[in-house]
């Protein structure tokens, strides 16, 4: 993404040319910070990334979290995901998986682009699948875990197909597990291929063929779980 020139124009549009910083004050984040302080959500997200990854400045997870949260509160999906991830991992703050799950949910309930691993909505859905599976930040709930994995699969996440196979296997539904592993394996998931190879030994060629035919069918869409409460996250959470 081009950096510098467009934010200079933005600063002019928002209120005139800002006072030029001195040589000691001028850093890579200066112009982004000026636009971010004026409420520009793109600049806030970029500034979060600058501090998170250390682009031209020392890494500073506290500042990164602050600017990601500012952008997330204005509705930026990527920033919302990053707030959730940083809270889950304890980056720039104490670990808080409960609030992390709330932020993931805010993003996961949005409309997915269906573009696979470039879709942050789908990634947030996958995260919620793991959290409900493991009881991390939420009460463990296998049913909700699978629902979020299904939604992540609809968003194009192959990992979600594999996790659905694992879930069906734990539930003792081996035929269903075979179908999910087949779906993931045909999309290149190595773990699913290994699981499929082991599981196929238990079934007749006819049963394997039926599972393959079922796996080739389009996924049946599931509704976004509106029963899931929307996050109510205070600005200082």
Domain ranges in the chain are 28-95
> CA-CA-CA-CA torsion for 207, 210, 214, 217, nearest 10 degrees?
160
Instruction: State the average pLDDT for the chain.
Output: 83
Burial-class residue 129 by CB neighbours within 10 Å (0-12, 13-18, 19+).
buried
DSSP label of 55: S
For the four alpha carbons of 63, 69, 74 and 77, in that order, the dihedral sign comes to positive
Give tens-digit pLDDT for 166-210.
Answer: 999 999 999 999 999 999 999 999 999 999 999 999 988 888 888
The CATH-assigned architecture of domain 28-95 is Alpha Horseshoe (1.25)
Q: Quick check: 27 pLDDT over 80?
A: no
The token pair that represents 86 in the structure block? 């940083």
Q: Which residue has the higher pLDDT, 35 or 229?
A: 35
Q: Quick check: 25 pLDDT over 50?
A: no
Give tens-digit pLDDT for 107-152.
Answer: 999 987 766 556 899 999 999 999 999 999 999 999 999 999 999 9
Convert 79-142 into a string of H (helix), E (strand) and C (coil): HHHHHHHHHHHCCCCCCCHHHHHHHHHHHHCCCCCCCHHHCHHHHHHHHHHHHHHHCCCCCCCH
Residue 95: band (very low, low, confident or very high) from pLDDT cuts 50, 70, 90: very high
- CA distances 106 to 50, 100, 168, 194, Å, are 24, 10, 27, 35
Residue 211: band (very low, low, confident or very high) from pLDDT cuts 50, 70, 90: confident
> What's residue 189's pLDDT?
95
- CA distance linking residue 38 with residue 16, whole number of Å: 12
- CA distance linking residue 114 with residue 154, whole number of Å: 7
């Amino acid at each position: 993404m081009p950096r510098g020139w467009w934010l200079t124009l933005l600063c002019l549009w928002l209120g005139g040319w800002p006072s030029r910083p001195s040589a000691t004050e001028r850093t890579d984040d200066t112009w982004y910070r000026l636009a971010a302080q004026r409420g520009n959500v793109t600049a806030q997200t970029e500034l979060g990334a600058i501090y998170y990854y250390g682009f031209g400045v020392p890494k500073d997870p506290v500042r990164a979290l602050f600017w990601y949260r500012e952008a997330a509160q204005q509705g930026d999906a990527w920033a919302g995901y990053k707030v959730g991830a940083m809270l889950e991992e304890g980056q720039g703050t104490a670990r808080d998986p409960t609030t992390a799950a709330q932020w993931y949910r805010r993003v996961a309930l949005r409309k997915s682009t269906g573009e696979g691993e470039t879709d942050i909505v789908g990634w947030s859905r996958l995260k919620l699948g793991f959290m409900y599976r493991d009881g991390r930040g939420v009460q463990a709930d296998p049913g909700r875990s699978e629902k979020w994995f299904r939604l992540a699969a609809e968003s194009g996440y192959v990992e979600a197909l594999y996790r659905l196979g694992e879930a069906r296997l734990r539930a003792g539904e081996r035929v269903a597990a075979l179908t999910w592993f087949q779906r993931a394996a045909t999309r290149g998931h190595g773990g699913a291929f290994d699981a499929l190879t082991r599981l196929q030994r238990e079934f007749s060629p006819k049963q394997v063929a039926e599972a393959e035919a079922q796996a080739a069918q389009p996924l049946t869409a599931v509704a976004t779980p509106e029963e899931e409460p929307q996050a109510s996250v205070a600005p200082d959470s």
